[in-house]
Amino acid sequence: MASTMTYQVNGMTCGHCVASVTEELSAVPGVTAVQVDLASGRVDVTADAPLEMSAVVAAVEEAGYEVAR
Ligand SMILES: [Cu+2]
């Protein structure tokens, strides 16, 4: 069942940042859609399986940013 979780990502400043975060999160198993709002840092991640918070954090860090917690 698809569900959408919202995360707050710090450090994104431009379209390249958005693209990097989108790419890394899209590569997480189960993720079907990623929607980033650059202005607020809000990231909506839709997945067809429950996501581990650690997998989301790792993907964002891989892109070079940080999930606010
Ligand atoms: Cu950037």
Spacing, Cα 1 to ligand 1 middle (Å): 33
Give the chain's mean pLDDT.
96
Q: Taking residues 21-44, report their average pLDDT.
A: 98
Three-class SS of residue 37? strand
| Rounded Cα–Cα distance for residues 63 and 22 (Å) | 9
Spacing, Cα 11 to ligand 1 middle (Å): 8
Neighbours of 47 (CB within 10 A): 21
| Rounded Cα–Cα distance for residues 55 and 52 (Å) | 5
Asked if residue 69 has pLDDT above 80, the reply is no
| Residue 10 pLDDT level (bands cut at 50, 70, 90) | very high
Spacing, Cα 62 to ligand 1 middle (Å): 14
Spacing, Cα 15 to ligand 1 middle (Å): 6
